[in-house]
Every structure is written in structure tokens, then in C-alpha cells.
Amino acid sequence: MKYIDEFRNGTIAISLSDKIAELVKGFRKITIMEVCGSHTMSVYRYGLKRLLPPNIRLLSGPGCPVCVTPVSFIDTAITILHKFANEIIITTFGDLFRAPGSSSSLEKEKAKGASVVVVYSTRDAMKIAEKNTDKKVIFLGIGFETTTPTIAASVLEAERSNLNNYFVLTSHKTMPHVMEALLRDKELNLDGFLCPAHVSTIIGSRPYEFIAQDFHIPCVIAGFEPLDILQGIYMLLEQIVKKEAGVKIQYSRVAKCNGNPTALAILDKVFEPCDVEWRGLGLIPKSGLKLRNRYARFDASKVFRILDFGFRIDSGIQNPHSASNGCICGDILRGVKTPSDCKLFKGACNPEHPVGACMVSGEGTCAAYYKYGETEP
């Protein structure tokens, strides 16, 4: 496939692997975090850790949307399902469908007969709303700056077409803020960030500049194909070896300095910053996005009055069930532990019966370790 196969060439991967080894030969141990879950999956799928010398350590970051969605969000969706059972249809992305709340999941509720439909996008959810005018259709919106513009676009399209039975329940998050929170974590010593490809396609490279300037940590925006990742790592190592810190773009065929101004304008029209809870990481100020008041009539949290149930999605209150079972997803998301450190991994927690969100999502670190095996050199 054009513009994909070229970035999966095994012979060039070996040459790049040699170049990387040459560059850091005799150098100290270097830790690089790939922030995005799609990078994590590529790293494992293509066995890229085996192509890196032993002094390069790749850490997975918090960029898996389902993994960082708080238990309270899933509990809220389930409570709405129970309270408005005959009036609503909940639509959701496939991986959120299976994510555990404190006592159930959307998958379990569907098995009991609840109206939950897995969709590929908001466009599918809107089509369900068009076909079921007697029902209120709620789309569960999670994800980073890549996904949020698609939810914003759906709200604008629903407004334009007078689709009055379409609503969104959102827990959107922004990437640079969590990266800053990670840098302030004393347990984590990072030498560089491999920045997400598609978040950066939207936001551009500028929002990462404070990381290079204030924290002296180099950043490279890399694509998701194996050669993109290896080249991105090489571009990071070049900076680390020279003790330089800047923001560079490997994925220049898609990601630009200014990002995608059209998508950013739509995002800004519909959403505004808010404090938000990250599963495992707690409340991070201004790291979330919520619907602006102007679009309150599409906001399921207001229309279905979730505050009346005692839920506050943005409250920062950790559900006691989320950590008391021994799950260490939080430490894994912060990059301070790996799945092998978890006593539940491969036993009580597995893809058939996930305990933590990192095992549920296809982009989760635990799911990647389980599927492809531990491949530390």
C-alpha cells in the first residue's frame, strides 16, 4: 500500500538499527518514553525493542485513551443506562465497551439486555440517532486531541441538521499537560519523548516547545510505522548525545508546526479546557476538554443531570475499587512500573478477564505485553 509499505522495509530497519547502535555505543543508559498507545503497539508488533541496543530503554506512556478514562466515567454511563433504560441508546468505541467500571462494564450491561452499540465513529452514532428518533442516542467521547475534533465536528453537524436526539458524554484529555505532569514526577527520569503522530497532526509541534525549553527534554513527533519510530528514536538520540533539546518532526508528511488549523478551530468552537481526572494519575488541572455552554443541549452530563446521581466525572475522586484489587495500571501509565511487576498480570488479569484498563484496550501496555511477550533486550 502506497505510503505505508515504504515505511515497513526490513532491510532499512536493520541499517537504522546499526546507525542507532553506532551513535550510542559506550553511552550511558537512555530512557525514552513513547507517549502514545499506537506507538506502543507498533513497538511490540514489529519487535522494535530487539532492534535497539541494550542501553536504550523504551517506556510506554499514558497515551491510551481507554487506559486513562476514570472508573467514574464508565459508572456514570452505566447509571444513565439504568435510569433511562427505555429512552436511550448508548454508543461507544469498541475498547471502551469492555473497560471495567467499579462493578460492571458496558459489555456486561449489554449482555443483560441494555441498549449499547459499538460504533466506529460519531458518524455511525449520528446515523443511529437519525434512524431512532424515539430514542436519545448518547455517544461516549473519550480520547485526546486527535479524537476530540471528530466529536466537535459531530456536534456541529448535529446542530446544523437539527438532530435533537444526539448527545455526547465526554472525558477528553490533552497530551502536553500530562507530559508536563510526568516530568514533574520525581520517580521518572526521562531523556526524551517520542511524541504522538496523530495528536501532533492536530496540535502541531509548538505545544511541546515548553518541554524542550523549560525541562531540557528533546521531543520528536514520529509516525506510527516501524521506520518512522526507529528514525524518530535516532533523531531523539542525536539530540541527547549532543545535549541538545528541541522539538523535531520526523512525521513531516502529515504533522506540521501549526498542526491542523481547521480542526483546531472546530475543536475550540465546541470545547473549552477543564480540570480532569486521569485513571491512575489523578486530577491534572486544565488537562481536559469539556463542551462549551453554548452546546450544553448536546452535553449528556447536563441533559441527564448526572450531578443528581452523585457523580462528578471531573471530580478527581478515585473510585476505591480502582486500586484496591492490586492493579498497578496507574504506575504503568506513569512509566514507573512494567506489567511484569504486577502480580495480577497473566493470572487474574488477562485479555478475556481484564482487571485494569491497560489490559482492556488494544493500545494498553499490558495488552501489548500479553499479546507480543516481554521483549526487553
Partner 1 sequence: MKLIKINGVTGIAEIGGLQREIGLLLVDNANVGDYVIVHAGYAIQKLDEKEAFKTIALLESYHEMPQDTKSTKK
Where along the sequence are the contacts to partner 1 (CB under 8 A)?
1-3, 6-7, 9, 11-12, 14-19, 21-22, 25, 93, 120-124, 143, 146-147, 149-150, 153, 156-157, 198, 201-202, 227, 231, 250, 252-256, 260, 262-263, 266
Residues 182 and 62: beta-carbon distance below 8 Å = yes
**Nearer of residues 181 and 222 to partner 1, judged by Cβ:** 222
Sign of CA dihedral 255, 275, 332, 147: negative
Q: How many angstroms separate the CA atoms of 188 and 186, rounded?
A: 5
Q: How many angstroms separate the CA atoms of 308 and 310, rounded?
A: 5
Least distance to partner 1, CB of residue 266, Å: 6
Angle formed by the axes of helices 148-160 and 261-270, nearest 10°: 70
Which region holds residue 14: left if phi is over 0, alpha if psi is between -120 and 50, else beta?
alpha
Give the residue from 319, 306, 312 showing the smallest Cα distance to 275: 312
**Nearer of residues 78 and 202 to partner 1, judged by Cβ:** 202
Say if residue 11 is exposed, middle or buried (CB neighbours under 10 Å; 0-12, 13-18, 19+). Answer: exposed
Residue that has been written with the C-alpha cell 525549553 in this structure:
213
Angle subtended at Cα 225 by Cα 141 and Cα 367, rounded to the nearest 5 degrees: 55
Read off the DSSP letter of residue 279. T
Least distance to partner 1, CB of residue 283, Å: 26
**Nearer of residues 178 and 202 to partner 1, judged by Cβ:** 202
Least distance to partner 1, CB of residue 153, Å: 4
Joined together, the cell numbers standing for residue 228 give: 518512522
Least distance to partner 1, CB of residue 152, Å: 9
The helix/strand/coil state of 75 is helix
**Nearer of residues 35 and 59 to partner 1, judged by Cβ:** 35
**Nearer of residues 12 and 183 to partner 1, judged by Cβ:** 12
Q: How many angstroms separate the CA atoms of 3 and 165, rounded?
A: 40
Least distance to partner 1, CB of residue 212, Å: 22
Least distance to partner 1, CB of residue 139, Å: 11
**Nearer of residues 156 and 323 to partner 1, judged by Cβ:** 156
**Nearer of residues 190 and 263 to partner 1, judged by Cβ:** 263
Least distance to partner 1, CB of residue 122, Å: 7
